[in-house]
Amino acid sequence: MAKSKSRTIRLKDGTVMHTWEGKLHSWDGPALIPQNDPKQGEYYVYGIQYSKERWDEAKKEQSGLPWYKSSSGKIESTRH
């Protein structure tokens, strides 16, 4: 059985952290929710912090993905 690369961590003070490969990350909402208060949530994509507006834009475009994780980063070959 393979281990999942994503984890949800809950601290004793109520803080919730969503991680992917050890970095704060979430496409579903704030990746860091201090004391379980979504109004204070912080948005991260692959460990990089974004404002709510920029995160919404990145989510729509999926531009937050590194080139090697997006379909546009694949090199097409002309060889047959």
Which pLDDT tens digit goes with each residue over 25-68? 999 999 999 998 989 999 999 999 999 999 998 888 875 555 55
As a whole number of Å, the end-to-end CA separation of the chain is 37
Predicted local distance difference test score (pLDDT) of residue 36? 86
Task: Select the more confidently predicted residue: 22 or 72.
Answer: 22
The pTM for the full model equals: 0.70
φ, ψ (nearest 5 deg) of residue 36: 55, 35
Residue 34 is given by DSSP the state G
Q: What are the Cα distances from residue 61, in Å, to 36, 56, 69?
A: 28, 9, 13
The yes-or-no verdict on residue 3 having pLDDT over 70 is no
Predicted local distance difference test score (pLDDT) of residue 38? 87
Predicted local distance difference test score (pLDDT) of residue 25? 94
